[in-house]
Structure 1
């Protein structure tokens, strides 16, 4: 049946249960697997994960792709369509469902027995999430098309105006290159200006941190510009206080790189190490960061993320942990004595154009300068409108008495 002849599906009445899961296996040969409602692994997804691993994709990337595939398979299970029989009509409805239905309500991890209200959470999926999902699913079906194990037509096609054309055929050499292979159902992702934290807001959040470990973490984040997962990769042997360097494992290349940090960060780190003396394992290859509760375990990204969320909520702010990386990047980019190529190296950007985003003025700075401009214009207008002094009065005397121009 042609997709134009298929009957429209009532997406407003569609319920997509949170069945199945993405399971971490602990097996280095297959780090994750997708589990269907019956408890069996979806072999089509496992084959795709093996192909990603062969292409040198990290476990974090495989997990990210797996979450997008889990969302797609839950939709297919709800409409009772097999993955290898999905058409562009189902792909179109899935993209519409993500756009309109919003994120599902999930039970709180502390109260799993409570049934959430379906109408309590209607936050829409961000355009970046929907764009990432479309890209992952298009790649998933392209893999099975090449292997001959999927449908004959990719349910997530390219844009009609882009298919069959040579990439960058009409590209203006004065403009940056754009993606010429855009999916038909791919949303428009706005180019957002990275958000940084002001000094006053940062000080308020820092004052709410409860422990020396948390203060050391935040001080390293805002002085090195490392990603959250990269800073957690530091081992005890990767700290060099004498040279003020720490060694992190880069997220993309997974190579070790030394990053300079502030003196305050090493002071908080030393206080934390004194507190944890005798509670953690010692060794150059042992993790640097550990949980506060006993028995101590290596600190995870989700624990750090939740720690920072609690401090932000207590300070009445809305910033995220990743905003600390943006803050560090802005601070370095604003230093006229620091070349932008040095900032690029510290941040680990592959392209200099990515680092140049931090040359964009911040909203709060623009507002402050514009308000100062308006105030200055008002002062100049008031000075121009002031009448001249009457004959017999000395202008310098009036200036001493009343201030401003005589």
Structure 2
């Protein structure tokens, strides 16, 4: 293999774009720096659509492909001529360079991808490797790309049969992994402690925001799922709210009474500003003209509240908080929690049985305090008047 290029001096301009198209046949399109669609990516995304993948998956895969094509454009290598050398350098680039620094739109400066940004999480890099390996596998099968995939499988497992040493009493594992796929650590889902959640909730500026957060923390819905709710999907009588899952399926989720109280207050407050209709969005912007609330607007709202409260919680952490609260209820079966969260496997829901970090720290500190108290209780009392201390030490084996 050739020597690697000098990545320390490589600047990757943030050129090209993943464009959201108002077209159900072509929801997302990757364009090059001149605005011309990248046909190889369009064919891959169309194949994904034919396999029934939702537009959100096309966007996620498109962003990974955009990072890869920006790297290739900076190095001057066409995508169909990329080798394992480019794949290796790109994996190193994601690991060391990190996320690109984006200047504010008012500054007018040219954005570029240089070394020293916030590191990408291992899960992001692993997802990128999987997407790019699948992209080249698609073109290899179609006869439109390289003969060899620049993102190969791990050399130590390529020649082996899958699950050759599998124990039939244990579940199957994914034994074939990519050569440049990083190891993703198993992390405990981050939830919001009760004290921190109360501080955040007290800082929410409007009834709409309180209703949103109350629904998030009681239904366990994802941020985008709750924003898909329509006015006809909210049923206060049955305490149910209908959301659209990523698969397109509509699911009714039970919620708390407080959430519906805040929702009603929000509707009364915005009654003259929000268009009415059972199929219209349930959540709208507070500023005129009213528009359906988007994920990025809700995310920015929660960021501002975190700054005021001095916390660092995320909207997705509210889903973990709801899952922890439901899983810790002894009267609620774990299979019910699995259904509400929409997990395909019960093993995914079982991660919420792991104790929270805050609770572990509190119990261990209480343990240390109890040990200190018991040690103090075991300390021998001072001898009564008239007894010599050295004599008692000899008699009972004490230290002089």
For residues 343 and 181 of structure 1, the distance between their equivalents in structure 2, rounded to whole angstroms, comes to 31
Deviation by residue 1:354-402 (Cα, 9 ceiling, x = unmatched): 00000001111001001101111111111121528959xxxxxxxxxxx
The offset of 1:113, in angstroms, is 1.3
Secondary structure of 2:364's counterpart equals helix
Indicate if the aligned counterparts of 2:97 and 2:114 stay in contact, CA closer than 8 A: no
Distance across 2 between alignment mates of 1:390 and 1:119: 77
State the partner residue of 2:177: 182
Describe the shift of the 1:245–1:131 C-alpha distance in structure 2 as closer, same or farther (beyond 3 A): same
1:159-196 deviation digits (Å, cap 9, x = unpaired): 01121322211123455432222000000000000011
CA RMSD of aligned residues (A): 1.6
Q: Which residue of 2 aligns with 1:403?
A: none
Does the CA-based 8 Å contact 2:10-2:114 persist in structure 1?
no
Distance 1:117 1:19, change over 3 A: closer
Following the alignment from structure 2 to structure 1, what is the Cα–Cα distance between the partners of residues 36 and 278? 41
Structure 1, unaligned runs of 5 or more: 392-406
Determine the structure 2 residue equivalent to 1:94.
90
Contact 1:105 1:120 (8 Å CA) reproduced? no
Select the residue among 41, 46, 51 that pairs with 2:47.
Answer: 51
Three-state SS of the structure 2 residue aligned to 1:258 is strand
Shift of 1:292: 0.8
Question: Structure 2: 5+ residue runs without aligned partners?
Answer: 386-400
Per the alignment, residue 299 of structure 2 pairs with 305
- SS of structure 2 residue aligned to 1:26: coil
CA drift of 1:318 comes to 1.2
Which of 217, 220, 228 does residue 212 from structure 2 map onto?
Answer: 217
Give yes or no for contact 1:236–1:283 (8 Å, CA) kept in 2: yes
Q: Which residue of 2 aligns with 1:292?
A: 286
Counterparts in 2 of 1:117 and 1:69: CA distance versus 1, 3 Å: closer
Length-normalised TM-score, structure 1: 0.92
1:120 deviates by 9.3
Q: Secondary structure at the match of 1:12?
A: coil
Superposition map of 1:5-404 within 5 A: 6-109=2-105, 111-114=106-109, 122-173=117-168, 175-251=170-246, 253-387=247-381
> Is the 1:329–1:347 contact (alpha carbons within 8 Å) kept by the matching residues of 2?
yes
- Secondary structure of 2:315's partner? coil
The DSSP-based 3-state class of the residue aligned with 1:23 is strand
Could you tell me how far 1:118 is from its partner in structure 2?
7.2
- 1:39 CA drift (Å): 1.2
Specify the SS of the correspondent of 2:29.
strand
Secondary structure of the corresponding residue to residue 49 of structure 2: helix
Distance in 2 between residues matched to 1:44 and 1:113, nearest whole Å: 31
> Within 1, Cα distance between the matches of 2:112 and 2:136?
34
Q: Aligned equivalents of 2:148 and 2:111: distance in 1?
A: 38
- SS of 1:27's equivalent? coil
The 1:211/1:39 distance shift into structure 2, 3 A limit, reads same
- In 2: Cα distance, 1:199 partner to 1:9 partner: 50
Deviations 1:101-160 (A, max 9, x none): 111111124x25145797795211111110010000000000000000001100000001
Give the conservation status (yes or no) of the 8 Å contact 1:244–1:260.
yes
What TM-score, normalized by structure 2, do the two folds share? 0.93
* Superposed displacement of residue 302, structure 1: 0.6
Match of 1:317, SS?
Answer: coil
